[in-house]
């Protein structure tokens, strides 16, 4: 394969990846209301992160999701109002606060996780285990890169 042909093939692959990831993101946003009708995909992503890592600071959420503090503040306010998260004093910095899941938040995350798991099971019904393993590895590798 010539260098020009390889370059063209790489460009086409990158274009396809971009198109497919955009379609994936659109689908995820459109299905967010199925997780909870009052929450955005961003808010549920924040709950997921807290379920995975435990209590976090608002600034950590902003950095992790690459959002401005005002967006995080609005999302946190919505989550608090619904009773999904609570604030507690940061034991390492008493001036700061940590956000943690409440039992209602844990239940909401658990229910949403199960609905997503079932949706993925249905979507991957015809996929072989080896293909799923490769896809999982590729996605992890992509998301680890900075």
Provide CB contacts within 8 A for 78, sequence distance 6+: 38, 39, 40, 43
Q: Mean pLDDT throughout 93-113?
A: 90
Q: Is residue 120 a contact partner of residue 112, using CB atoms and an 8 Å limit?
A: no
pLDDT band per the 50, 70, 90 thresholds, residue 146: low
Q: Where does residue 83 fall: left (phi above 0), alpha (psi -120 to 50 degrees), or beta otherwise?
A: left
The answer, yes or no, to whether residue 139 has pLDDT greater than 80, is yes
Spans of all domains in the chain: 1-35, 37-144
Q: How far is CA 115 from the centre of its chain?
A: 15
The predicted pLDDT at position 62 comes to: 95
The answer, yes or no, to whether residue 136 has pLDDT greater than 90, is yes
121, 139, 50, 27 alpha-carbon torsion, rounded to 10°: -60
| CA nearest neighbour of 86 among 54, 63, 110 | 54
Q: Which of 20-29, 78-87, 100-109, 114-123 is predicted with the least confidence, judged by mean pLDDT?
A: 20-29
CA atoms of 98 and 137, how far apart (whole Å): 32
What is the value of pTM for the model shown? 0.77
Q: Is 37-144 a CATH 1.10.10.10 domain?
A: yes
Q: How far is CA 59 from the centre of its chain?
A: 17
The answer, yes or no, to whether residue 32 has pLDDT greater than 90, is no
């Amino acid at each position: 394969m010539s260098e020009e042909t390889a370059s063209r093939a790489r460009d086409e692959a990158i274009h396809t990846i971009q198109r497919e990831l955009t379609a994936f993101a659109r689908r995820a946003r459109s299905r967010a209301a199925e997780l909870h009708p009052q929450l955005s995909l961003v808010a549920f992503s924040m709950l997921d992160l807290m379920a995975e890592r435990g209590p976090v600071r608002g600034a950590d959420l902003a950095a992790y999701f690459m959002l401005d503090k005002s967006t995080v503040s609005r999302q946190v306010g919505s989550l608090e109002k619904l009773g999904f998260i609570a604030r507690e004093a940061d034991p390492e910095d008493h001036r700061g606060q940590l956000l943690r899941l409440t039992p209602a938040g844990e239940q909401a995350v658990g229910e949403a996780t199960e609905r997503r798991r079932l949706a993925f099971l249905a979507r991957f019904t015809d996929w072989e285990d080896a293909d799923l393993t490769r896809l999982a590895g590729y996605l992890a590798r992509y998301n680890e890169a900075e």
